[in-house]
Amino acid sequence: MDIKDLKQKYPEIRFSKTPIKQEQGELVFFEAPFYFAIPEKQLTEAEKSLLLVLFKEAAPEIKNEAAKAWYQLLFTAEAVDMEETSAQYRFIQFYLPKTAPSKTIFQDWKKALLGFFHSDTELIQLSTQYGVLIEPVSDSLLGDEELEAVANTLENDFYFPVRFFMGLFYQKSSAMRRYFSEERRFFDFQSAKSVQTVASGMIHDLAGHWRENPLAELVSQSFQNDETLLDLIEALFLHQGNISMTAKELFMHRNTVQYRLDKYYEQTNLSLKTADGLLMAYLSLKGMRDI
């Protein structure tokens, strides 16, 4: 969906990546990554019927007072009377690229999902595709690899995929609103990765800003002469600069990788053997691929 097309047709439309409070006489919908509200007075009956078929109405599922308090804190601008404690929590966002085939199956899926987390975990469902888990920090938390296994298990059992974004640990306070807002901004619904993290989101965000720098363009041009450098730099970055592991992944001899890194340095004066140089090259690479 192109929100600009809807804005052109319905000038009074309101849209946001965070849930919109429904005003009287409005219809509110969700289509990743936007929530949008359209005044009913702008719609013919035929248009209203069509929109109800095309888009899901955005109605968050709030089951108890605890979930309601979390919803107000994370998804609204309302003042929240929250007792600040030393207890820590993290937020696990989830997104379904394909909606569940039925409401019953979706309920079973959510029950299975909660089974992998702490028993005091709260689930807030913002739409049939997007929701968030608020999990208290404990000794038995899932890491990113375990969360990836959860995504695979759920897909094998229910036959539709899920994407997760795993947040950091935060002490319970009103500051969580600001932190979670950044985590939501980092969550890329279009990514093929089953698990994203704050660190991966930060790299994506930095790459977007770096892409506008003329030096990034210069570094990107150096890749165009040899596109195999893209896979080399990505593998080297993911293996934290370890040449042996990079060579193994790319089925290359270690000396070949070493030679190519030296050659690149001679041509650009940018060393891929240093953390700074490798990060600069990797951000340039990500900027290219995200266009």
Going residue by residue through the chain, which has 291 residues, state the pLDDT in tens, using 9 for 90 and above: 567 778 888 888 888 877 777 677 777 887 777 788 888 888 887 787 777 667 765 656 677 888 888 988 888 777 877 777 788 999 999 999 888 888 899 999 999 999 999 999 999 988 778 899 999 998 889 999 999 999 999 999 999 999 999 999 999 888 899 999 999 989 988 888 999 999 999 988 888 888 888 998 888 888 877 778 889 999 999 999 999 999 999 999 999 999 999 999 998 999 999 999 999 999 988 877 665
pTM above 0.85, yes or no: no
The domains of the chain, with CATH numbers, are 3-57 (no CATH), 65-204 (3.30.70.270), 211-289 (1.10.10.2840)
pLDDT value, residue 22: 67
pLDDT value, residue 60: 67
- CA–CA separation, 58 vs 15, rounded Å? 12
Print burial letters for 80-97: b (CB count within 10 Å at least 16), e (below 16): eeeeeeeeebbbbbbbbe
Facing residues of 195 across strands? Answer: 164
pLDDT value, residue 85: 79
Spatial CB neighbours of 140, under 8 Å, sequence gap ≥ 6: 118
- CA–CA separation, 130 vs 256, rounded Å? 45
Facing residues of 95 across strands? Answer: 130, 163
- Where does 55-127 have alpha helices with state H? 65-75, 103-114
H helix and E strand count, the chain? 12, 10
Facing residues of 30 across strands? Answer: 35, 56
- CA–CA separation, 166 vs 161, rounded Å? 16
pLDDT value, residue 291: 52
- Taking CA atoms, 244 is separated from 181, 251, 252, 270, in Å, by 39, 10, 9, 20
| Residue 127 dihedral angles phi and psi, to the nearest 5° | -165, 180
